[in-house]
């Protein structure tokens, strides 16, 4: 499969250390959250918090109060790992210049937002579970699809500006090139934006936001400032490919399908688990908000099955989108250099272990993408010779 590719400028040992560190943090974080949920569920702790929060507010708000309190506790207890395993690691590897204070401000904003969005949604979900004990899984998984559509549309205009600045790109040459590419791909775009992503990360990025006529493409400052024009074109061409094939809808459809499966499995697995542990947890049914840590444990289990499916689907989409971009620009060398630069700027592991790719990689390994881009040029040259 992936032929060994030499990536100029990439410190392979450092990239390896970085991906190993991230893996350890991920596994440690999962173990930590499983341990936390098990501890919180057992000994009647969750049930006690549920009673205490219930005693402090009117009956109607007892559920939401418990959910908000546990969200806060869970955020606080995961903060140290997020700091040392996330922010400090990125700093040490030179992948962010964000200060501790800036990082914490982002964390606080994110937590506040999460609390505001999550609490009413979860409270509503528990109300559905109580009222429809047989088919709640179908109702809830059905409701998450329009919700996902809504959030993915509102996020770029309502949520992302809380964290970053967006400004229209004024360089007319760049805008003209992007518009010409978009026109050739048959994708209407309203605006081209620059985003100060360097506030959080040195890793370059680009994405589409909005729907229909308000569609805009957003390019990170890290991309615009460090990549050659032909390389920016390659990145834009790739994003156009996602638009042409409606990949956001495909991903939403897949998540919807997986969501139905996950909800049904929870419906089958969680009630017996709750019943069997009732004496130790003090929780009698999954309609009780205090069953949240037990539901969390079940969802971690389901996540192990869902993650590789989602990753494989995404890799297939990315592979096809790379091919589309090559056809659109006709410039395999520019795409290969873009990928090389991306690898250097984000310290990509040049040959990740197969199980890591299987479980975690939403994109094909970078060496494979580079090889595919160069192979495209070779094939083109052979065809015209
Ligand atoms: Zn992509």
pLDDT at 152 over 90: no
| pLDDT > 70 in the chain, percent | 98
157: tokens are: 């205009």
Mean pLDDT computed over 246-264 = 94
Give residue 1's pLDDT: 47
* Residue 168 CA to ligand 1 centre (angstroms): 22
* Residue 318 CA to ligand 1 centre (angstroms): 5
Mean pLDDT computed over 246-252 = 91
Give residue 106's pLDDT: 97
* Residue 85 CA to ligand 1 centre (angstroms): 26
Mean pLDDT computed over 185-194 = 90
CA angle 379, 380, 381 (to 5 degrees): 90
Could you tell me the pLDDT band of residue 2, with boundaries at 50, 70 and 90? Answer: very low
Give the list of residues 6+ apart from residue 87 with CB closer than 8 angstroms, or none: 96, 98, 100, 103
Give residue 45's pLDDT: 96
Q: What are 23-56's pLDDT values in tens digits? A: 999 999 999 999 999 999 999 999 999 999 988 8
Q: What are 95-110's pLDDT values in tens digits? A: 999 999 999 999 999 9
Average pLDDT, the chain: 93
* Residue 246 CA to ligand 1 centre (angstroms): 12
DSSP assignment string, 310-352: HHHHHHHHHHHHHHHHHHHH--HHHHHHHHHHHHHHTT--SS-
Could you tell me the pLDDT band of residue 4, with boundaries at 50, 70 and 90? Answer: low
Could you tell me the pLDDT band of residue 67, with boundaries at 50, 70 and 90? Answer: very high
pLDDT at 64 over 50: yes
C-alpha 152/C-alpha 156 separation (Å) is: 7
Which domains are present in the chain? 12-163+244-384 (no CATH), 166-242 (3.30.2010.10)
Q: Is 360 helix (H, G, I), strand (E, B) or coil?
A: helix
Could you tell me the pLDDT band of residue 273, with boundaries at 50, 70 and 90? Answer: very high
Are residues 2 and 351 in contact, defined by beta-carbon separation less than 8 angstroms?
yes
* Residue 72 CA to ligand 1 centre (angstroms): 34
* Residue 107 CA to ligand 1 centre (angstroms): 26
| pLDDT > 90 in the chain, percent | 88
Are residues 72 and 40 in contact, defined by beta-carbon separation less than 8 angstroms?
no
Cα separations (Å) of 1 from 5, 176, 368?
12, 39, 8
* Residue 255 CA to ligand 1 centre (angstroms): 17
Q: What are 302-329's pLDDT values in tens digits? A: 999 999 999 999 999 999 999 999 999 9
* Residue 317 CA to ligand 1 centre (angstroms): 8
Give residue 213's pLDDT: 64
């Amino acid at each position: 499969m992936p032929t060994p590719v030499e990536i100029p400028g990439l410190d392979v040992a450092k990239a390896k250390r970085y991906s190993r560190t991230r893996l350890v943090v991920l596994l440690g974080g999962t173990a930590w959250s499983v341990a936390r949920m098990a501890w919180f569920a057992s000994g009647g702790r969750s049930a006690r918090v549920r009673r205490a929060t219930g005693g402090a507010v009117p009956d109607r708000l007892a559920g939401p109060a418990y959910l908000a309190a546990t969200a806060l506790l869970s955020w606080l207890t995961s903060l140290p790992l997020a700091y040392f395993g996330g922010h400090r690691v990125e700093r040490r590897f030179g992948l962010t210049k964000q200060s501790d204070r800036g990082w914490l401000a982002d964390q606080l904003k994110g937590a506040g937002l999460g609390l505001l969005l999550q609490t009413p949604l979860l409270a509503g979900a528990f109300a559905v579970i109580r009222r429809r004990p047989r088919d709640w899984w179908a109702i809830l998984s059905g409701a998450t699809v329009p919700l996902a559509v809504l959030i993915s549309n509102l996020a770029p205009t309502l949520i992302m500006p809380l964290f970053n600045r967006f400004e229209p790109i004024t360089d007319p040459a760049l805008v003209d090139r992007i518009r010409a590419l978009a026109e050739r791909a048959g994708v209407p775009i309203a605006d081209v934006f620059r985003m100060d992503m360097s506030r959080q990360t040195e890793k370059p990025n680009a994405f589409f936001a909005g729907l229909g006529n308000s569609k805009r493409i957003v390019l990170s400052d890290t991309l615009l400032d460090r990549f050659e024009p032909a390389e920016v074109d390659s990145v834009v061409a790739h994003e156009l490919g996602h638009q042409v094939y409606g990949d956001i809808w495909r991903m939403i459809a897949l998540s919807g399908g997986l969501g139905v499966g996950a909800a049904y499995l929870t419906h089958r697995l969680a009630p017996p688990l709750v019943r069997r542990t009732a004496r130790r947890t003090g929780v009698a049914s999954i309609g009780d908000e205090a069953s949240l840590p037990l539901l969390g444990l079940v969802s971690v289990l389901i996540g192990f099955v869902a993650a590789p499916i989602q990753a494989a689907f995404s890799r297939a989409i990315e592979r096809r989108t790379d091919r589309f971009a090559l056809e659109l620009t006709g410039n395999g060398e520019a795409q290969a250099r873009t990928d090389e630069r991306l690898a250097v700027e984000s310290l990509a592991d040049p040959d990740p272990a197969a199980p890591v790719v299987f479980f975690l990689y939403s994109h094909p390994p970078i060496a494979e993408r580079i090889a595919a881009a160069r192979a495209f040029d070779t094939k083109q040259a052979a065809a015209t010779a």
